[in-house]
Chain A
Amino acid sequence: MAQIFAYIVHKSGVADDSAAELVAAAKKLDAATTPTAIVTGWGAELDAVCESLRGSYGQVWKIANQALTYPNAELIRQALVKVLPSGSILLVPHAHFGIDLSPGLSIKLNAAYVPDVIGIESVAGASLTLVRQEFGGQVSAHVRCDLSTGAVLNLRPGAFKPQDGAAINGSVIDKSATVGTLTAKRRYLETVVAEAGDVDITKHAILVSVGRGIQEKDNIAIAEELAETLGAAVSCSRPVVDAKWLPKSRQVGSSGQTVKPKVYMACGISGSFQHLAGIKGNPFIVAINKNPKAPFFQVADVGIVADILEFLPELTNKIRETKGVSV
């Protein structure tokens, strides 16, 4: 099988969790492989990341270049095209950087590209069968990928569980000289940090979270009333923010906030992986959705098949009654 490489995303001198997941995925592709890590960057932070990977990667290819201090996908693509042997398989985490890098890289390498892979089913010669999800996770699909001219595979973060294994003594190989000068038609300027909102959903133990099922802005009040009776805060999924019904600071998910409540009530949220990625700390999850096929029912502890616009006000009334009696 072709040589397997893993692109390492890192920040402040620390490799992303995906670095260990990519090793697990590489072993699924080829149990005998010791994958090679590719790390781009500059300075002491780059060296720290390379060093930290020696226990899990046979080789760590270091590409030091001052132009790569911030990971600009256009520059990194040029670097990878220069260093990757033809026919290689490159694994990349499917997050904002991988989405920026991989489609164009696959064209320049003349390699196949498969985005957002969640499983590796089988390998037979140059034919690889992968698993993806479509339609917001409502159905899965087997996808065949022709490896004969190499492949760039973007893997969903969290889909491949890191394996425990004996630490190996990998070596760091400096490939910086191969890369040479890099120039880009897109230039990084700065990162603008998200503004804090009126309510900090990361600090709440109970979240009443609403999605597309809330249907219109005026209905947000239904969730707010329930939240008030529970002593909870209202959070939401992406479509609610896109529609400007709640501010961005209330959004749970990979492009929003990461929350760690004790109880998470998902109301009319289908449960895309980007949303689920924002829920940590193993809360008790209640999913309420009128679509019995909603992916959220696969991860929730308790599910209720109901229209939230009818169900939530009833629930609120009953809780008020209960509280009234017990006081």
Chain B
Amino acid sequence: MEILVCVRRVPDTSENEIQLNGTGNDIERDDLVYSVNEPDNYAVEEALQIAAKNGGNVTVVTVGTEEDEEVLRREMAMGANQGVMLSDEAFEGSDGKGIATILKGFVQKGKYDLVLTGIQAEDGGAQVGGMLAAMLDYPFASLVNSITVQDGGKLKVSREIEGGNREMNEIDLPCVLSIQTGINEPRYVGMRGIRQVASVEIPTYGASDLGVAPVMVGEAGAKVKRLDYFVPALGKGAEILQGSQEEIIDKLIELLKAKGGMN
């Protein structure tokens, strides 16, 4: 099975406090720690497990610039057979539809049975996978938390719905699935693994290579644009307990007693 996984490099919210910059129109990007978008990592692991069980290749692709190469190498160190960079000045400022348009160009250059994305990016909203599927006229399922390959060019997939319940579906290949976190346990990647793929060539494709019209992507094609970032004026908010740790603990115990928090 030929599997393509779309990944992205994002600021890692478990490593960073996200704050506004001095002028208040963007987040402070100096000193941010970036990593691969967490759900994308689960998608790559799932692809590797499917390929190991059923045969096939795993390709990881990202839309970005040179600095995004590190996430491709990380996923190659996990075991992806190759990494591909989609990069062009015309791609800058793309909205979700723009990214999906670029990815569609790449998907159509190859022959993939299965395309995976992470469910959502830290600054996104669960959109690119569904858009890509619609552009390709492939079936789609979101929030996927298990995949079983079946005979006859089909998969059985479960979707995470409310209350921890799972919606079971049968879906024809080729298809696009967006992967929920927790579907598997992504393997650990050490520095050694990353060094081993450090010099592997990563092919780069631009708009003309992909047959993507520049007016359809980037700022030019975006119907949705982020204007600024802000921190909303807080409501009442929590009363932050102050003082030494001992004082804070005493206060908290009083509160817990008063509110029924100690049985």
Contacts and interface: CB of A to CB of B under 8 A. Distances in A.
Q: Is chain B a partner of chain A in the same complex?
A: yes
Interface of A: 73-74, 77, 94-96, 99-108, 112-116, 129, 132, 134-136, 138-146, 149, 154, 184-194, 205-206, 212, 230-232, 238-239, 241-242, 244, 248-249, 251, 254-258, 262-263, 265, 270, 284-287, 291-293, 296-306, 310-311, 314-315, 318-319, 322
Given A100-B142, A113-B96, A231-B262, A254 B17 contact: no
B123 to A, nearest CB: 4
Given A231-B262, A284-B259, A304-B241, A189 B169 contact: yes
Nearest to B140: A104
Given A143-B227, A206-B263, A319-B262, A244 B185 contact: yes
Nearest to B174: A185
B126 A115 contact: yes
User: Which 4 residue pairs spanning A and B have beta carbons closest together?
Assistant: A231-B263, A115-B125, A103-B130, A303-B238
23 contacts: A103-B96, A103-B126, A104-B133, A113-B224, A114-B224, A115-B126, A138-B17, A140-B229, A140-B230, A141-B226, A185-B171, A185-B172, A191-B165, A206-B263, A230-B261, A232-B263, A238-B182, A285-B238, A286-B255, A297-B237, A302-B238, A302-B255, A319-B253
Contacts of B226: 141-144
A146 B224 contact: yes
Nearest to A241: B182
A293 B18 contact: yes
A304 B242 CA distance: 8
Contacts of B36: none
Given A140-B232, A189-B168, 12 more contacts: A100-B130, A102-B130, A108-B134, A132-B125, A134-B122, A143-B227, A146-B223, A188-B167, A230-B262, A231-B263, A255-B163, A314-B249
B52 interface: no
Given A194-B163, A302-B238, A262 B259 contact: yes
B261 A186 contact: no
Interface string B153-184: 00010111111111111111001000001100
Nearest to A310: B245
A306 B164 contact: no
A49 B106 CA distance: 44
B127 interface: yes
Given A186-B139, A302-B241, A144 B227 contact: yes
A107 B224 contact: no
Given A96-B159, A297-B240, A113 B142 contact: no
A257 B164 contact: yes
B163 A257 contact: yes
Nearest to B127: A103
A318 B162 contact: no
A285 B237 CA distance: 11
A136 B126 contact: no
A105 B164 CA distance: 26
A304 B226 CA distance: 33
Contact of B225 (A113, A144, A293): A144
A129 B228 CA distance: 11
B191 interface: no
A294 B227 CA distance: 23
A310 B245 CA distance: 10
Contacts of A194: 163-166
B159 A205 contact: no
Contact of B235 (A143, A256, A298): A298
A113 B96 CA distance: 8
Contacts of B240: 292, 297, 302-305
B231 A186 contact: no
Given A186-B140, A186-B141, A188-B167, A134 B229 contact: yes
Contacts of A114: 125, 224
Contacts of A154: 125
B81 interface: no
A186 B130 contact: no
Nearest to A212: B14
Contact of A286 (B126, B224, B228, B252): B252
Contacts of B133: 104
Contact of A306 (B19, B156, B248): B248
B214 interface: no
B11 interface: yes
Interface in B1-39: 11, 13-14, 17-20, 27
B25 to A, nearest CB: 10
A257 B164 CA distance: 7
B66 to A, nearest CB: 24
B123 A301 contact: no
B129 interface: yes
A303 B161 contact: no
A95 B135 CA distance: 22
B189 interface: no
Contacts of A286: 252, 255-256, 261
Nearest to A109: B134
B74 interface: no
Contacts of A270: 13
